[in-house]
């Protein structure tokens, strides 16, 4: 309530801890805060605590997932990776994953059909994006990639640079070896190398966050063993991710989950770690909203009140004060 009403000074309480760090120590401080919060809840007698790690922006959520997936050191203490899941708007990431899967299928069919299928998958990605966040750019991309697909199927050269780059990459070959994880990363990296497709690369990186890695890896391995290639990978990826998404939607929150503050509305957790980046996910951004940031304060209050027991707030030193 003090944050909501901009009351200064903030009350001193035992169940909310604000941690400030330098930008250089951001990753290790976030990691330590999550570990500390989980440990505190267990010491309070909660055997399987649920902890939500919340951020203002999806880009920061992605960054936090990367942080928790790697080991760090905090004040001389080694921190192991934290197993976690991400509550995400799964449709776009799944669509980007289908693009990666279509690239894995390149050695399975005719040259024109292979690249055209990838261009169709990219067009489908932008159809979904335009449906959720309509824009002229997304609408134009749907048309451009559809036209490129048609051109390739007819034996012509696509007009857009991304289409030409995909045709060149397919002709060169990616050299799959039958290791589904390594081959997935190889296919995904081909998107990163094409500037116009880096958005899809970033979205496809989130596929590993759906907790479907074992199912995907096993399915892709089976395709290779039975066929010697990844034909059918697109269908496998789409079905697996949809299945995992439906299961996750029905589960009671346990363990560590990452999500945006907006996604946390209506949910409840034993503990919450709220993270503000130095550049992404600012709590109070005067470019987005003028002081006293009433909308942002309402959202921050939602994030704080998701916790049953304890809240940790991680901020960069020099950030705008929570109140005042």
User: d(Cα 284, Cα 314) in Å, to the nearest integer?
Assistant: 14
Q: Name the residue among 259, 279, 277, 276 with its Cα closest to residue 268.
A: 259
Q: 99 and 200 in contact (C-beta within 8 Å)?
A: yes
Q: Name the residue among 182, 200, 183 with its Cα closest to residue 191.
A: 200
Q: 190 and 169 in contact (C-beta within 8 Å)?
A: yes
Q: Name the residue among 11, 209, 3 with its Cα closest to residue 92.
A: 209
Q: 257 and 86 in contact (C-beta within 8 Å)?
A: yes
Residue 214's CB is within 10 A of a number of other CB atoms, namely 9
**Given this model, what pLDDT does residue 205 score?**
83
**Given this model, what pLDDT does residue 213 score?**
55
Residues 6+ apart with CB under 8 A from 252: none
pTM of this prediction?
0.67
**Given this model, what pLDDT does residue 103 score?**
96
Low-confidence ranges of the chain (pLDDT < 50): 210, 212
Positive or negative, the CA dihedral 65, 66, 72, 74 is negative
Ramachandran bin of 320, using left for φ above 0, alpha for ψ from -120 to 50, beta for the remaining angles: beta
**Given this model, what pLDDT does residue 131 score?**
82
**Given this model, what pLDDT does residue 40 score?**
95
DSSP 254-268: -EEEEEETGGGTT--
Q: Which run of H or of E encompasses 86?
A: strand 84-86
User: d(Cα 324, Cα 320) in Å, to the nearest integer?
Assistant: 9
Instruction: Report residue 99 CA to chain centroid gap.
Output: 16
**Given this model, what pLDDT does residue 125 score?**
94
**Given this model, what pLDDT does residue 256 score?**
93
Q: Name the residue among 117, 109, 31 with its Cα closest to residue 67.
A: 31
Largest CA distance in the chain: 70
**Given this model, what pLDDT does residue 248 score?**
60
pLDDT in tens, 244-278: 766 665 556 678 999 999 889 989 999 999 999 99
Q: Which segments within 190-260 are labelled E, that is strand?
A: 255-260
DSSP code of residue 46: -
Q: 233 and 217 in contact (C-beta within 8 Å)?
A: no
User: d(Cα 14, Cα 114) in Å, to the nearest integer?
Assistant: 59
Q: 257 and 51 in contact (C-beta within 8 Å)?
A: yes
Structure tokens at 320: 């705008």
User: d(Cα 111, Cα 117) in Å, to the nearest integer?
Assistant: 10
CA distances from 235 to 156, 186, 200 (A): 27, 19, 18
User: d(Cα 227, Cα 218) in Å, to the nearest integer?
Assistant: 14
**Given this model, what pLDDT does residue 263 score?**
86
């Amino acid at each position: 309530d003090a944050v909501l009403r901009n009351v200064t000074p903030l009350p001193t309480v035992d169940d909310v801890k604000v941690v400030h760090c330098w930008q250089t120590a951001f990753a290790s401080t976030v990691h330590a805060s999550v570990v500390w919060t989980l440990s505190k809840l267990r010491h309070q007698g909660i055997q399987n605590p649920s902890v939500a790690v919340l951020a203002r922006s999806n880009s920061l959520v992605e960054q936090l997932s990367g942080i928790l997936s790697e080991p760090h050191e905090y004040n001389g203490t080694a921190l192991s990776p934290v197993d976690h899941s991400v509550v995400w708007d799964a449709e776009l990431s799944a669509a980007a994953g289908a693009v990666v899967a279509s690239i894995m299928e390149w050695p399975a069919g005719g040259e024109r059909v292979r690249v055209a299928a990838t261009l169709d998958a990219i067009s489908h990605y932008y159809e979904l994006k335009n449906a959720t966040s309509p824009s002229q750019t997304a609408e134009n991309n749907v048309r451009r990639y559809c036209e490129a697909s048609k051109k390739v199927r007819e034996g012509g050269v696509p007009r857009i640079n991304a289409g030409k780059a995909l045709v060149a990459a397919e002709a060169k070959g990616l050299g799959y070896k039958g290791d589904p994880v390594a081959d997935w990363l190889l296919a995904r990296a081909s998107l990163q190398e094409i500037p116009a497709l880096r958005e899809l690369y970033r979205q496809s990186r989130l596929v590993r966050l759906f907790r479907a890695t074992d199912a995907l890896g096993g399915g892709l391995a089976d395709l290779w063993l039975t066929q010697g290639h990844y034909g059918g990978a697109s269908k496998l990826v789409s079905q697996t991710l949809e299945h995992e998404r439906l299961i996750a939607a029905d589960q009671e929150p346990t363990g560590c989950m990452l999500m945006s503050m907006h996604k946390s509305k209506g949910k409840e957790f034993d503990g919450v770690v709220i993270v503000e980046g130095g550049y992404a996910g600012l709590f109070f951004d005067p470019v987005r909203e003028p002081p006293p940031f009433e909308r942002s304060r309402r959202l921050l209050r939602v994030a704080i009140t998701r916790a049953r027991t304890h809240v940790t707030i991680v901020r960069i030193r020099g950030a705008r004060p929570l109140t005042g």
